[in-house]
């Protein structure tokens, strides 16, 4: 748990944010208001135990629809009897949209009731897309007027998307607790996505534990693979199949929430899949085994590369050196690799470890491999530069240098250096990276494949 977090801290910061937004000039551009709020929340969430998974799934298009299962705040964080600044939606706006696209986008927010002074004072500043929501409808308002008003949802959302703003919307209409989430999906957001030509991408964002006491729980957010309605043969908003799609997808989403809630952060789901992969390949010959974190896991082009070898990808996302070491014998006990390719060390930088400490862990892990496989050749790949870890560039360079020196004095090892090839004028070259600025795209993998191929050719 982060030492500088307390319930009092979060409630104090939320009150401060509310007062700050309320004191902004009435004529201040709403995009400025959204930006100010997003930056404040980035700072708030930096003090809270939050895990964000699946950033490699972010689309390049900023004008995408981000759907999520909307969660209540814990009552501890209520700012008044009837008002909460919901944490989950602000996490998406700040730590996903603003961080990776440079602007927090827009949200779909329910209209305030007359007595909801706090709600109105806060959300009127943002010029978000407004709709009337179940359980929050003025008594004197007729159904026809509500229906007519909510039609403006499409116009507002389309306008935002065409301006390149992400639109954050919960298909449920109102918030729940994690265990009850999500509620029944309404079809409006899916009709919106089918209505536009070309169709925008829908990015599912799964949220859990944002409704809990956050000093005792870890809030988790997972970005799933985006899709278009046309992927399900839904070409326009009048297609009657939208209704059945929403129902089916709703069921899937409940399973996504349950899965993320049960995720013990020890990679058990991924490791179980890798166990099965190892069993299928345990008796194969000429094994080329790739072991490491998400840079290995996401290396999809391996299937068509290094055709002389039986390739086995044992990557699992977010792995630290200690995780790789801990699970090494479990995953490798049935294997007999001719070559092992390692990518490790990058994730350890997030824990404020020194380059020397990370390098020592690498050395210890390599010794474990050598003890198990004294005749296997080991390739250590350089840690890539990235936008996500731009403030760690000097540490990355130091670790890479130490790894290179270590490989140079060990005949059983080779160093694969592609660091500089991913740079442009001394900075990470965006053309080699996915939208999250951390993971490589196909062009980036082409670079490391070429460098690894040169190394393998030398030792064959």
- Number of structural domains in the chain: 2
188's tokens: 């409006």
Instruction: For residue 311, give the CATH number of its domain.
Output: 3.40.50.1110
The answer on 107 and 84 residing in a single domain is yes
Whether 116 contacts 110, CB under 8 Å: no
Structure-token match 């006491």, residue found: 213
DSSP characters over 388-454? TTGGGHHHHHHHHHHHHHHHHT-TTEEEE--TGGGEETTEE-GGGB-TTSSSB-HHHHHHHHHHHHH
Whether 239 contacts 194, CB under 8 Å: yes
Q: Would residue 2 count as lying in a domain?
A: no
Q: What range defines the domain where residue 78 resides?
A: 7-262
Whether 287 contacts 281, CB under 8 Å: yes
Q: Would residue 1 count as lying in a domain?
A: no
The answer on 282 and 150 residing in a single domain is no
- Residues with Cβ within 8 Å of residue 147, at least 6 apart in sequence: none
The answer on 188 and 46 residing in a single domain is yes
The answer on 216 and 293 residing in a single domain is no
* Residue 204 to residue 67: CA distance in whole angstroms: 5
The answer on 279 and 251 residing in a single domain is no
Instruction: For residue 12, give the CATH number of its domain.
Output: 3.40.1130
The answer on 335 and 246 residing in a single domain is no
List the pLDDT tens digit at each of the 460 positions of the chain: 454 678 888 999 999 999 999 999 989 999 999 999 999 999 999 989 899 999 999 999 999 999 999 999 999 998 887 789 999 999 999 999 999 999 999 999 988 888 888 998 999 999 999 988 777 777 777 778 887 887 888 999 999 999 999 999 999 978 899 999 999 999 999 999 999 999 999 999 999 999 999 988 999 999 999 999 999 999 999 999 999 999 999 999 999 999 999 887 678 889 999 999 999 998 899 999 999 999 999 999 998 889 999 999 999 988 999 999 999 999 999 999 999 999 999 999 988 899 999 999 999 999 999 999 999 999 999 999 999 999 999 999 999 999 999 999 999 999 999 999 999 999 999 999 999 999 999 999 999 999 999 999 998 8
Q: Rounded to whole angstroms, what are the CA distances from 337 to 30, 64, 270, 340?
A: 58, 43, 21, 6
Residue range 105-154, pLDDT digits in tens:
999 998 888 888 899 899 999 999 998 877 777 777 777 888 788 788 89
Whether cis (ω within 30° of 0) applies to the bond prior to 186 is no
The answer on 277 and 383 residing in a single domain is yes
Strand partners, 310: 287
Strand partners, 381: 416
Please give the model's pTM, rounded to 2 decimal places: 0.91
The answer on 289 and 252 residing in a single domain is no
Last residue of a domain, one of 262, 280, 311: 262
Last residue of a domain, one of 227, 246, 262: 262
| Pairing of the two strands 50-53 and 65-68 | unpaired
Last residue of a domain, one of 262, 282, 309: 262
Q: Would residue 38 count as lying in a domain?
A: yes
The answer on 340 and 198 residing in a single domain is no
With H, G, I as helix, E, B as strand and everything else as coil, classify residue 176: strand
The answer on 369 and 240 residing in a single domain is no
pLDDT at 1: 45
Q: Would residue 317 count as lying in a domain?
A: yes
Q: Would residue 359 count as lying in a domain?
A: yes
The answer on 295 and 235 residing in a single domain is no
Q: Would residue 292 count as lying in a domain?
A: yes
Other CB atoms closer than 10 Å to residue 152's CB: what's the count? 12
Q: Would residue 19 count as lying in a domain?
A: yes
* Residue 393 to residue 295: CA distance in whole angstroms: 17
Residue range 34-72, pLDDT digits in tens:
999 999 999 999 989 899 999 999 999 999 999 999 999
The answer on 373 and 224 residing in a single domain is no
Strand partners, 129: 108
């Amino acid at each position: 748990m982060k030492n500088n977090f307390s319930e009092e801290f979060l409630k104090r910061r939320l009150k401060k944010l509310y007062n700050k937004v309320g004191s902004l000039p009435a004529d201040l551009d709403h995009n400025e208001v959204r930006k100010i709020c997003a930056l404040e929340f980035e700072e708030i969430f930096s003090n809270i135990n939050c895990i964000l998974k699946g950033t490699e799934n972010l689309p390049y298009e900023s004008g995408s629809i981000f759907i999520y299962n909307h969660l209540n705040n814990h009552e501890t964080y209520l700012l008044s009897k009837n008002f909460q600044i919901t944490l989950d939606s602000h996490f998406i706006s700040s730590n996903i949209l603003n961080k990776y696209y440079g602007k927090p986008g827009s949200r779909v927010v329910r209209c305030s009731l007359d007595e909801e002074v706090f709600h109105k004072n806060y959300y009127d500043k943002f010029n978000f897309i407004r709709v009337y929501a179940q359980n929050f409808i003025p008594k004197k308002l007729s159904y026809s007027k509500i229906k007519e008003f909510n039609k403006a949802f499409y116009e507002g959302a389309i306008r935002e998307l065409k301006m390149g703003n992400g639109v954050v919307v919960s298909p449920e209409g109102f918030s729940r607790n994690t265990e009850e989430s999500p509620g029944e999906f309404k079809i409006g957001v899916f009709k919106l996505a089918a209505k536009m030509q070309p169709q925008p991408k829908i990015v599912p964002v799964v949220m859990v534990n944002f409704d809990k006491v956050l000093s005792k729980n870890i809030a988790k957010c997972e970005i799933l693979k985006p899709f278009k309605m046309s992927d399900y043969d839904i070409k326009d908003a009048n297609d009657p199949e939208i209704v059945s799609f929403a129902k089916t997808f709703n069921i899937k989403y409940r399973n996504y929430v349950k899965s993320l809630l049960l995720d013990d952060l020890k990679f058990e789901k991924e490791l179980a899949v890798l166990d099965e992969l190892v069993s299928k390949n345990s008796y194969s010959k000429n094994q080329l085994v790739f072991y490491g974190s998400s840079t290995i896991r996401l290396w999809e082009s391996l299937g068509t590369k290094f055709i002389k070898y039986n390739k086995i990808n044992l990557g699992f996302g977010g792995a630290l050196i200690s995780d790789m070491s801990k699970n090494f014998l479990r995953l490798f006990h049935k294997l007999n690799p001719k070559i092992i390719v390692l990518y490790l060390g990058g994730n350890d930088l997030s824990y404020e470890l020194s380059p020397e400490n990370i390098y020592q862990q690498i050395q210890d892990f390599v010794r474990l491999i050598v003890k198990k496989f004294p005749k296997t050749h080991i390739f250590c790949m350089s840690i890539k530069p990235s936008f996500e870890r731009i403030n760690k560039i000097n540490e990355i360079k130091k670790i890479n240098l130490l790894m290179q020196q270590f490989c140079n004095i060990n005949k059983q090892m080779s160093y694969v250096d592609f660091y500089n090839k991913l740079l442009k004028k001394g900075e990470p070259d965006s053309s080699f990276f996915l939208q999250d600025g951390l993971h490589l795209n196909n062009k980036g993998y082409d670079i490391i494949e070429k460098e690894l191929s040169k190394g393998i050719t030398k030792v064959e």
